[in-house]
Structure 1
Amino acid sequence: MTRHSGKAVVADDDPFFRIALASILTEHLGVPEIHQVGSLDEALEALAEKPDIRFALFDLDMPGMESPASLSAVRECFPEVLTVVVSGSTEREDVFLALRAGVHGFVPKGSNVESLIQALRMVFDGFVYVPAFVTRTPGGGPPEAATPTAWREAAADPTAALTPRQRQVLDLIVAGQSNKEIARSLSLGEGTVKIHVAALLKALGVPNRSAAAAWGGANFARPRAAP
């Protein structure tokens, strides 16, 4: 078994599944240390605080995860981290959105243990893993024939790609708060706030916080931010 020097974070709100994935990573893939978290914010916090994390596994159905596009923040701020979705979703659109966000693999939760190990090993060896169901089309057309609905929505509205937390951050940027103040308002680490800011700047297509504040003030209907 090849041993990996980098650590991993497993983000899933099901503690039993987290334990199972951590066991697979340690016993079969040689990952020496696993950080288990239950939300996207906690995963971003771990990545911000632990620069030796090299592998990150994410469920799509957990607090803070709006859609697979939410993972663009991870890929933007931690390009060296191998990022894998391990999800119960069998929607082709979810796979396409995850790949568009830059993930290195999409592994169905329904896979048996051997298939899961094989898929993760492929990613660790430098390949991109995609489940077989993406080739199945109800109408018999080619997989790339249709444009996913969420892609069209994101193109029409830049905020559609933002997570609820990133919308809160944008609200507070418009209100004039610094990263430190936003971290205090939302009970987050300052490093996590920086990641959310970087992600929303990219989603809005603006170069800096001032431009984001101007865009948000003109276009964003701001609900009251809450932690």
Structure 2
Amino acid sequence: MSRILVLVRHGQSEWNLLNLFTGWKDPDLTAQGVKEATAAGARLKALGYKYDIAYTSVLTRAQHTLRLILDQVGQPGLETIKDQALNERDYGELTGLNKDDARAKWGEEQVHIWRRSFDVPPPGGESLKNTAERTLPYFNAQILPRVLKGENVLVAAHGNSLRSIIMDLEKLTGEEIVARELNTGEPIVYELNEDGSIKSKKVLAA
């Protein structure tokens, strides 16, 4: 029985390119992001899996990435569920700021703490712990059961919502997961055992 879960961070967005804190704002992909998502789809197609369902956030960059991947794997009409539980971390008052400008305003050390601590949120925003508190209940109630009953599931989302899922799947600590880098447009393919443990993992790097 196949129990495949694919997690992929969206391709480069317009605000990634500008080095801005994006959060729940809704820029689209850049031309580079389109290339990344299309290439991710081609690498997934080479594995030969067919997917039963896809999940994404309510944000354009993740949805666009998913559409490009589904076109490449030959399943453009696949049932897709969109939910804000899979949205990126909300950066609060940092949203829309250039990361260098944020460092100038609050200091290098403080901005580093907000970006790389597990449980310290920026003003008005979410920590990674807060993000996990909305992402994981949704994942465990809606997505994981589909995989465990033998379906192949594709999730296109964001760096921090996916970190939350990876932390749970790989049994990582908060300190371990904040150090984990997820590249844009780089699929991670898990095969799960019937108890939800990981049978195999592949990172489809460019």
Coarse TM-score class (shorter-chain normalised): 0.3 to 0.5
Structure ranking higher on relative contact order (CA contacts 8 Å, 6+ apart): 2
Instruction: Flag the structure with larger Rg.
Output: 1
